[in-house]
Each structure stands twice: as C-alpha cells, then as structure tokens.
C-alpha cells in the first residue's frame, strides 16, 4: 500500500521500498534502482578488498548485497543483483580477466554452484518476506475486527448506561418525596460518572488498560455543569495531562462527583459561588484538590451521610491521604499514590 508523503518507512524484518515509493516511482524502477545500488556496493567493496588482499574469494561480497537487495525491494531486485554480480565476477574477477572465457572446469563449477547458492538464498528470503507479509496482513485484519467489536461493545455499554440513567431520572421526576427525588438524582449522577470512563477508554492506550484522567474529569465536569449547577455557580478544572488505570479513574471521578454535588447542595445558600478542581502529577502521587468559596462545613455533617461514607470508602480504596480544610469555604486535598501500569 502506498504511503503518504512525510510518513516514516516501516521495518518489518524487511523494507518494502517499491511499495513505500509507489507514489513517486514505478515499482520496477525502484527494484532496478535497488539492485544496481547493491551491485555498486559489491563493486566498491571488491575494489577496496583487492587493495588489501587481491584475488580473495570471488563471491564473498555478492551474498550480502544480494540479501540486502532482496530484503529492501523483493525477489526481482535480488534476481537482478544476482545476474549483475555474477556477470561482473565472471568478467572482471575470475581469470582470464575482462573476458567471459572459462579457463577450467573448476571455474565453471564454482560459478554454477555460487549462482545456485545465491538462488537458494533468494528463494529463502522471498519466502520469509511472503510469510511475514501474510502474518502482518492477518494481524492487521484481527486488529480491525477487534476494533470493530470494541466499538460495538463501547456503543452498547454507553447506551445501557444512558438507559439506566434515564430510568433513574424518570423515577426521580415522578417521586413526590424530596429526599427520594434527591437520592435518585444523585444515584443517576454517580452512574453517569462511572459510565463516562468508557468514553475515554478506547482511545487512551493500545492495551485499553489506562485512560486519560484529565479528559475523563473534563467530561464529568461538563456533565455536572449541564445537569446540576446553576449558571451562577462556576466550576473550574485545571488538570495536568496524565493516564491512570481505569479503576483508579472511576474512583477519582466518583469522589469529584460527590464533592461537587455536596458543594452545589450545601455550600451556596444564595446560589452564587465557585468550585475549583485541580489535578497535579507529583511523580509518585497525584494531588487532587476540590475546593469552594462557600459557607464552610459542619464537622458532624461531613462525618454522616451516604456521600461522606462513600468518599471515605473511595479514599481507602485509593490508598489516599485526605486533608479537609475550611478557610473561606471548604477544601479537600487528596494525595493519591500512582499505580504503575505496563
């Protein structure tokens, strides 16, 4: 397949130059060019070798350059290199020099055996190229099939989450008990926080084990702004780009969802305020800060409630340390150990 201009050539155990240069040169022209370059390399090596050890084994340099030509441009390039090298050796290296005469049967046998050996090597390298190409095509097809399957699973998973969130939302709207309506709304928000991780999972890494945490948090904040916060409450996110295992991301996302929900519900009696989220990569740990400029907190209120217990549970699961402050509002500062992922 022709490659676009500016794309890097790919080494697969061989280099398919005719395909790489298909947009610039005809395939056969590339094969001839590579073959003649290999022949020139053999001639230059022979001249240099004759300066040191004149008349050493005539065919010593033809084998590596034929292999190089075949690996770079295919069997036709290798065959052209064989013909060129053997004719030059016959004409200029084997006595009588500058002649295609044969002095002895031994010379004829030597020429035929070396040619046969080169043809066997050409066949072996060609078979290797063919096998490698087929395996690469099969692997590419498997990857495409898996990508299609993953996209379908991802689509169905997100749809299922949306259905569940929609059902909770309907139940919440129909509930007459304000406490029940609030609980269902928070359950829907938690489910959205869990489901949002799949949006960033497929594109984050080759092995699908990690996600871009900053993108995931940005998605959560966008959903919270649209579904929970009034226009007078500003939610700001500053996150250093970082990837983490998806289990860790889900827990961090749930913590942020709970804290922002708490701030929106309790921190701003007049309905006006700011919530700030900061994520910094400290090397061996992540530092997550969630703060608001609201009315502060009641220590007894923090200790009780499902949301508070959930934050405590998630903090333990993350092996994190948390510091809670109440200086011109409420702030939570988490130190979360990094999990090394392959």
The pLDDT value given to residue 196: 61
Question: What is the pLDDT, as a whole number, of residue 1?
Answer: 43
Q: Is the full-model pTM beyond 0.85?
A: no
pLDDT in tens, the chain (342 residues): 444 444 455 555 677 888 888 878 898 999 999 999 999 988 888 888 777 776 666 677 889 999 999 988 889 999 999 999 999 888 888 888 888 888 888 889 988 999 999 999 999 998 988 888 888 888 888 878 777 776 666 666 666 666 676 666 777 777 778 777 777 776 776 666 666 655 555 444 445 577 888 888 988 888 888 777 788 999 999 999 998 888 898 889 889 988 988 888 888 888 899 999 999 999 899 999 999 998 876 655 555 566 788 888 889 999 999 998 887 889 999 999 997 654
Domain over 206-337 is classified CATH 3.30.565.10:
yes
Q: Where in the chain is the domain with CATH 3.30.565.10?
A: 206-337
Of 250, 184, 241, residue with least CA distance to 220: 250
What pLDDT is attached to residue 212? 85
8 Å CB contact between 277 and 236: yes
CA 186 → CA 6, 194, 242, 276, 328, distances in Å?
50, 13, 27, 20, 26
154-162 long-range Cβ contacts below 8 angstroms, 24+ apart? 154/198, 154/201, 154/202, 157/195, 157/198, 158/195, 158/198, 158/199, 161/191, 161/192, 161/194, 161/195, 161/198, 162/195
Q: Residue 51 phi/psi, 5° resolution?
A: -70, -25
Distance CA(74)–CA(69), nearest Å, equals 7
């Amino acid at each position: 397949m022709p490659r676009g201009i500016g794309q890097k050539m790919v080494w697969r155990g061989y280099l398919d130059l005719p395909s790489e240069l298909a947009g610039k040169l005809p395939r056969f022209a590339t094969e001839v060019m590579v073959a003649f370059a290999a022949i020139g390399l053999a001639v230059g090596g022979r001249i240099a070798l004759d300066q040191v050890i004149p008349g050493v084994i005539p065919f010593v340099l033809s084998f590596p350059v034929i292999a190089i030509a075949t690996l770079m441009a295919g069997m036709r390039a290798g065959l052209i290199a064989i013909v060129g090298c053997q004719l030059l050796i016959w004409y200029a290296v084997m006595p009588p020099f500058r002649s295609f005469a044969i002095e002895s049967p031994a010379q004829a046998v030597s020429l035929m055996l070396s040619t046969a050996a080169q043809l066997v090597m050409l066949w072996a390298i060609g078979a290797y190229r063919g096998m490698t190409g087929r395996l690469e095509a099969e692997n590419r097809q498997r990857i495409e099939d898996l990508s299609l399957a993953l996209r379908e699973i991802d689509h169905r998973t997100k749809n299922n989450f949306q259905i569940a969130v929609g059902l909770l939302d309907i139940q919440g709207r129909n509930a007459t008990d304000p406490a029940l309506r609030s609980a269902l709304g928070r359950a829907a928000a938690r489910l959205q926080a869990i489901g949002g991780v799949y949006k960033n999972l497929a594109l984050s890494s080759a092995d699908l084990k990690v996600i871009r945490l900053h993108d995931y948090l940005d998605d959560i904040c966008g959903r919270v702004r649209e579904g929970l916060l009034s226009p007078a409450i500003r939610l700001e996110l500053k996150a250093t780009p970082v990837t983490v295992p998806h289990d860790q991301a889900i827990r961090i996302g749930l913590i942020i969802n709970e804290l922002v929900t708490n701030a929106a519900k309790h921190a701003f009696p007049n309905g006006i305020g700011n919530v700030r989220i900061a994520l910094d990569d400290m090397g061996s740990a992540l530092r997550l800060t969630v703060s608001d400029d609201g009315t502060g907190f009641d220590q007894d209120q923090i200790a009780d409630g499902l949301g508070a217990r959930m934050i405590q549970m998630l903090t333990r699961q993350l092996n994190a340390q948390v510091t809670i402050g109440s200086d011109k509002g409420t702030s939570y500062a988490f130190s979360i150990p990094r999990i090394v992922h392959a």
